[in-house]
């Protein structure tokens, strides 16, 4: 399947479980891939090799998404080495397990700078280039059901994701006339990434969380990637400003306050 042939995807947090899965899925569908993360360059070698095995180009940048100038330089270099990014996936995120009484101002600030500011910086820098070149594109923010369901132990994460959702809507409204569609994927309990680490560090939490989900299943990183690919597809011509909620029915329950993240 090469529905994304000729396009370049840029993915922040691209070496994490979800970011890697998105990169591979978009590469399988024909896109060249630019991944950014904070890990050493050698950590990207396996992912780059796998993407290249699908006949696609892949480059890695070590970049701090909370630094607007660094993100702008990243986007410019991707355009020089591959092409202007037309599939923009702000995915980088961190999570702090601390309620409002115990989270420090430094923790709060760092989380919002990465989870919200960093997502804006990548979307903003990339979209400016698309507008300048009069090209269409897709922005898919990796959000969370925590954007609308209160989680007492992760207030900074939930607040950042709620802000991300409104950013998505504002950008979608402004950019629709230019054929740049902006959407959010909002997973529930993903057995990978940030939530996967929480499960690993808390024995029994994986199974108890699975039982709480109405469909009685956890989400895989690959399933998130497939839905991101759908939102990136040229066949998606009308969905913009939309939250694609894939939480197995968690949002039908009264509260998410005892559980964590995406």
Go through the domains of the chain in sequence order and give each one's CATH number: 8-247 (3.40.50.720)
259 pLDDT more than 60: no
pLDDT, one tens digit per residue, over 63-78 is: 999 999 999 999 999 9
Write the pLDDT tens digit of every residue in 205-218.
Answer: 899 889 999 999 99
pLDDT at 194 (0 to 100): 77
pLDDT value, residue 261: 44
Judge whether 219 and 246 are in contact, CB under 8 Å: yes
Give the chain's mean pLDDT: 94
Separation in Å, CA 215 to CA 147, 200, 248:
21, 22, 5
Residues constituting the chain: 262
- Which pairing describes strands 87-89 and 137-142: parallel, antiparallel, or unpaired? parallel
- What is the average pLDDT across 185-190? 94
CA separation (Å) from 232 to 97, 101, 117? 32, 40, 22
What's the pTM?
0.93
pLDDT at 255: 54
8 A C-beta contact, residue 175 and residue 123: no
């Amino acid at each position: 399947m090469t529905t994304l042939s000729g396009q370049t995807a840029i993915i922040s947090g691209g070496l994490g479980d979800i970011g890697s899965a998105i990169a591979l899925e978009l590469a399988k569908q024909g896109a060249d891939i630019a991944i950014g993360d904070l890990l050493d360059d050698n950590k990207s070698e396996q992912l780059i090799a796998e993407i290249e095995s699908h006949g696609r180009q892949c480059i890695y940048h070590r970049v701090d998404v909370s630094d607007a100038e660094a993100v702008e330089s990243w986007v410019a270099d991707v355009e020089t080495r591959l092409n202007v990014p037309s599939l923009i996936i702000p995915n980088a995120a961190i999570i702090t397990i601390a309620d409002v009484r115990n989270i420090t101002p430094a923790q709060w600030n760092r989380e919002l700078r990465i989870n919200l500011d960093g997502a804006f910086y990548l979307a903003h820098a990339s979209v400016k280039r698309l507008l300048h070149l009069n090209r269409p594109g897709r922005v898919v923010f990796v959000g969370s059901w925590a954007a609308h369901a209160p989680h007492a132990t992760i207030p900074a994460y939930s607040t950042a994701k709620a802000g991300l959702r409104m950013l998505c809507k504002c950008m979608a409204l402004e950019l629709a006339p230019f054929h740049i569609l902006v959407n959010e994927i909002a997973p529930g309990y993903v057995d990978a990434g940030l939530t996967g680490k929480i499960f690993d560090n808390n024995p029994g939490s994986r199974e108890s969380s699975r039982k709480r989900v109405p469909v009685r299943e956890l989400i895989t990183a690959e399933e998130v990637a497939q839905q991101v690919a759908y939102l990136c597809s040229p066949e998606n011509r009308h969905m913009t400003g939309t939250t694609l909620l894939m939480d197995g029915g968690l949002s039908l329950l009264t509260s998410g306050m005892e559980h964590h993240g995406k």
